[in-house]
């Protein structure tokens, strides 16, 4: 039987914060394997460690101890430069509050990660337009975030995440600021991307969304619990 490299492998990951003499394990000995193409929902109460986990998997942060292996590459011990290189080329992030640049147009927002990924100017624009079209915003490319609806803003954020052709998309409460109809549209879009082969991790409080995933895990006080079947 063929054995494939998992998309994500966390081995005994702990993240400790020290604040004013107190230590807090935001993540406590977390192990998790995600296969390429999987869609995993991560749930858990506020403050349980979900965003910390997402940031570590996405290379925005490093664990205090343990190993983070993404696409066969161990991120836990690489230099910051290599970590940001990895992030710029392999991961798409989508956040609850969209995190768009307010003074830039939709097109400029989607071009941004391609600048970091060092794509040439002409190709950047073509790729960004392609991504905006893919999320149904081909007719809004010159609008600024303030001139777009919430659902449209999140679609710009998804186009931005898609721009570098990531192998993994990590979405931290992507529907948290949207009404349920708009949330469902965003989920449809993310699921379509998953069907195209992108590994999808979604953090959500919403059980309806979590049930769309292939697999659900939850976090309580930094400890991960797998839900089977
Ligand atoms: N930079 C930091 N310094 C100190 N403590 C932190 C830091 N970042 C997060 N924490 C703490 O780590 C714990 C986990 O935070 P995290 O943001 O991962 O929670 P979360 O599950 O995403 O919560 P929410 O659902 O509210 O977004 C919290 O108790 C938080 O206060
Ligand atoms: Mg969070």
User: pLDDT digit string (tens) for 170-198?
Assistant: 999 999 998 999 999 999 999 999 999 99
Whether 30 has a pLDDT exceeding 60, the answer reads yes
Give the whole-number percent of the chain exceeding pLDDT 70. 98
CA of 112 to the centre of ligand 2 (A): 24
State mean pLDDT over 206-222: 95
- Cα–Cα distance for residue pair 158/76, rounded to 1 Å: 27
Of 201, 111, 118, 204, the residue nearest 162 (C-alpha):
111
The confidence score (pLDDT) of residue 87 equals 86
Mean pLDDT, the chain, whole residue set: 93
Whether 31 has a pLDDT exceeding 60, the answer reads yes
Whether 229 has a pLDDT exceeding 90, the answer reads no
Residue carrying the six token digits 């910390």: 52
Looking up residue 136, the CATH number of its domain turns out to be 3.40.50.300
Number of domains in the chain: 1
Cβ–ligand 1 contact at 15 (below 6 Å)? no
pLDDT in tens, 42-92: 999 999 999 999 999 998 899 999 999 998 888 888 888 888 888 888 999
Whether 165 is in a domain gets the answer: yes
> What is the extent of the structural domain holding 123?
8-227
pLDDT band of residue 114 (cuts 50, 70, 90) is very high
- Cα–Cα distance for residue pair 89/56, rounded to 1 Å: 16
Answer whether 175's CB lies under 8 Å from 209's CB.
yes
Cβ–ligand 1 contact at 199 (below 6 Å)? no
Whether 197 is in a domain gets the answer: yes
Give the whole-number percent of the chain exceeding pLDDT 90. 81
Q: Which ligand 1 atom sits closest to the C-alpha of 27?
A: 14
Whether 210 has a pLDDT exceeding 60, the answer reads yes
The confidence score (pLDDT) of residue 157 equals 96
Whether 87 is in a domain gets the answer: yes
Closest ligand relative to 172 C-alpha? 2
Closest ligand relative to 24 C-alpha? 1
Answer whether 53's CB lies under 8 Å from 41's CB.
no
Whether 119 has a pLDDT exceeding 70, the answer reads yes
CA of 205 to the centre of ligand 2 (A): 10
Closest ligand relative to 52 C-alpha? 1
CA of 64 to the centre of ligand 1 (A): 15
Q: Which DSSP category does 42 fall into?
A: E
CA of 116 to the centre of ligand 2 (A): 25
Whether 96 is in a domain gets the answer: yes
Q: Is 4 left (phi over 0), alpha (psi -120 to 50) or beta?
A: beta
Whether 62 is in a domain gets the answer: yes
The confidence score (pLDDT) of residue 228 equals 64
Whether 3 is in a domain gets the answer: no
Query: Which stretches does DSSP call E strand in the chain?
Result: 8-19, 22-34, 39-43, 65-70, 73-74, 91-95, 168-172, 199-203, 215-220, 223-227
pLDDT in tens, 158-173: 999 999 999 999 999 9
Supply the angle between the helices 121-134 and 150-162 in degrees, to the nearest 10: 130
The residue nearest atom 8 of ligand 1, judged by CA position, is 52
Of 58, 220, 88, 74, the residue nearest 160 (C-alpha):
88
CA of 173 to the centre of ligand 2 (A): 8
């Amino acid at each position: 039987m063929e054995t494939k490299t998992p998309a994500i492998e966390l081995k005994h990951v702990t993240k400790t914060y020290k604040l004013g003499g107190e230590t807090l394990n935001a993540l406590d000995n977390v192990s998790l394997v995600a296969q390429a193409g999987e869609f995993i929902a991560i749930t858990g109460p506020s403050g349980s460690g979900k965003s910390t986990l997402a940031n570590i998997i996405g290379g925005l942060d490093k664990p205090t101890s343990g190993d983070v292996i993404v696409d066969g590459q161990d991120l836990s011990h690489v230099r910051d430069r290599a970590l940001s290189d990895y992030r710029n080329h392999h991961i798409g992030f989508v956040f609850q509050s969209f995190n768009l640049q307010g003074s830039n147009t939709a097109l400029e927002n989607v071009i941004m990660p391609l600048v970091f990924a060092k794509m040439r100017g002409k190709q950047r624009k073509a790729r960004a337009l392609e991504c905006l079209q893919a999320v149904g915003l081909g007719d809004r490319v010159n609008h600024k975030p303030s001139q777009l609806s919430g659902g449209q803003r999140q679609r710009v954020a998804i186009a931005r995440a898609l721009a570098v052709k990531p192998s993994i998309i990590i979405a931290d409460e992507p529907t948290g600021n949207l009404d349920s109809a708009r949330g469902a549209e965003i989920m449809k879009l993310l699921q379509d991307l998953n069907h195209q082969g992108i590994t999808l991790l979604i953090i959500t409080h919403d059980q309806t969304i979590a049930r769309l995933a292939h697999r659900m895990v939850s976090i309580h006080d930094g400890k991960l619990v797998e839900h089977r079947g």
